Amino acid sequence: MMYGMSYEEFWYSSLDRLEFYWQKNQFDIERRNQELWLQGLYIRMAIANCMDGNKVKYPDKPQRITELTEYEQEIENKRKIEQLRNMLVERKAKWDEKHKGVDAG
């Protein structure tokens, strides 16, 4: 009854059923713990943003708690490669500008 079993199930069904309810209860406890931890993370980011919004930004979208699919992972990898390429092009342009008049020899 403590784990969600009815009185009849507890007394008239097999012990395997009790174990199933116990395992579900353990899963529910772990899930709730994860939810509260994530809530604490959001609160921490909100407070840090209030204290120093220049260093800590509150996320624009919720934190992902499930793994990426293969397709999503591929898109993410392409985005990171593009971001890295843009950064390198920017740095090269700055370096070229800085060393424009310097003789290479």
DSSP code per residue over 3-28: TS--HHHHHHS-HHHHHHHHHHHHHH
pLDDT tier for residue 71 given thresholds of 50, 70 and 90: very high
pLDDT tier for residue 90 given thresholds of 50, 70 and 90: very high
Q: pLDDT tens digit string along 53-70?
A: 788 888 888 888 888 899
Check residue 1 and give its pLDDT.
61
CA distance 21 to 3: 6
3-state helix, strand, coil in the chain (%, to 5): 70, 0, 30
Q: pLDDT tens digit string along 14-54?
A: 778 888 888 998 999 999 999 999 999 999 999 999 998 78
- How far from each other are the two terminal CA atoms of the chain, in whole angstroms? 85
